[in-house]
Amino acid sequence: MKRKNKEVKGQSAMEYLMTYGLSILLIAVVLITLFELGFFTSSPLFPRVPPGSCNVFRPEGPGTTYDINLQGICNNVLPDSVMISDGVGDYVQIYGSNQINSRENIVGNQITITAWVYVRGAPYHDIVDKEDQYGMKLDYNNQPHSCSPSGSSGFCLEWDTAEAANPSDWTGYSFPIPNSNFDQWMFLAVTQNGSEKYWYANGQEIGNEIVTSSMTYISSNLTIGSVSTGYAAITYGNAEWFNGDISNVQLYNISLSANEIQSLYNEGLGGDPISLIGLVGWWPLNGNTNDYSGNIQNGFVYNDVYSGSWANDYQFT
């Protein structure tokens, strides 16, 4: 009798496993699939805000710094969209160059540029550029300029500035970005503080250089996603495009410290400006080309589009 009871219990256990085991297996497969699609990564689940949700308010007007503050939803919430460029004639041109020049302390060589970029393929050059003045670019496998140290793989961050005495004489270097390649987001930043230049990638310094001359001071439009060569040159193909996504471009007339650059990276792709006093321009590129620094230096988009599906690619570290 006891043996029979054991056989019945064993049979019941087997039936239980057969009945519910398949269901458990199916649930596991669904969960794994959702995870692979990025459903359980933190970024797609973060709240995402529409264009203009956060802006810098300057009560006394553009260029002023008294009682300056942030208004709106500004808790480093991720944007709804990012700018997409396919590398062929897609870029943003920022007008009001005289305003930008008057607010940049070019004579004192104080400047910082930051941006989040996602590289999809060649070309991968200009991220932010101001003709005959400064440019932040990407090179790949030492092209088109040499990377220091040479022979590095992946991407190199290039930071060039023109000398005031000779605007055609550009100085700068490229430094390798560790563990960089296509199809990933990167936070890039460059600074100049007097005679010192610094390169940063994902919050870490990757290179520095000592310069002996001051940057040039000229009136030219700033562009995002292309070299700033003017409409005619761009129309006829004389431009270095960027192929990928660009978000949260910030321009300062001060040299942010290494700790401040690290803090901006830690804030993530939706990070707010870290110094409102030194902020010259802020283009989140969240569905438009408006400047949310309070300096009203809005841009005009050429061919670019905006995508809200970027979050599945973004892995916050």
Where along the chain do its domains lie? 1-40, 49-313
pLDDT digits (tens, 9 = 90+) for 133-159: 788 888 876 554 567 655 566 888 988
Q: What is the pLDDT confidence band of residue 91, given thresholds at 50, 70 and 90? A: confident
Percent of the chain with pLDDT over 90: 29
Who has greater pLDDT, 61 or 13? 61
Percent of the chain with pLDDT over 70: 68
pLDDT digits (tens, 9 = 90+) for 256-304: 999 999 999 999 999 999 999 999 999 999 999 999 999 988 888 887 7
For 25-52, what is the mean pLDDT? 62
Least confident residue range of 22-26, 92-96, 112-116, 177-181: 22-26
For 150-169, what is the mean pLDDT? 72
For 64-84, what is the mean pLDDT? 89
Its CATH architecture, for the domain 49-313, is Sandwich (2.60)
Instruction: Kindly tell me if the per-residue pLDDT of 250 is higher than 90.
Output: yes
Q: What is the pLDDT confidence band of residue 31, given thresholds at 50, 70 and 90? A: low
- The token pair at 11 is 């049979």
pLDDT digits (tens, 9 = 90+) for 105-130: 555 678 899 999 998 887 778 899 88
Mean pLDDT, rounded, of the chain: 78
Give φ, ψ of 231 to 5 degrees: -60, -45
Q: What is the pLDDT of residue 123?
A: 72
Least confident residue range of 5-19, 88-102, 174-188, 243-257: 5-19
Q: What is the pLDDT confidence band of residue 189, given thresholds at 50, 70 and 90? A: very high
Contact 243, 120 (CB under 8 A): yes
Q: Output the pTM of the full model.
A: 0.81
Instruction: Kindly tell me if the per-residue pLDDT of 34 is higher than 70.
Output: no
Residue from 225, 35, 222, 206 nearest 118 by CA: 225
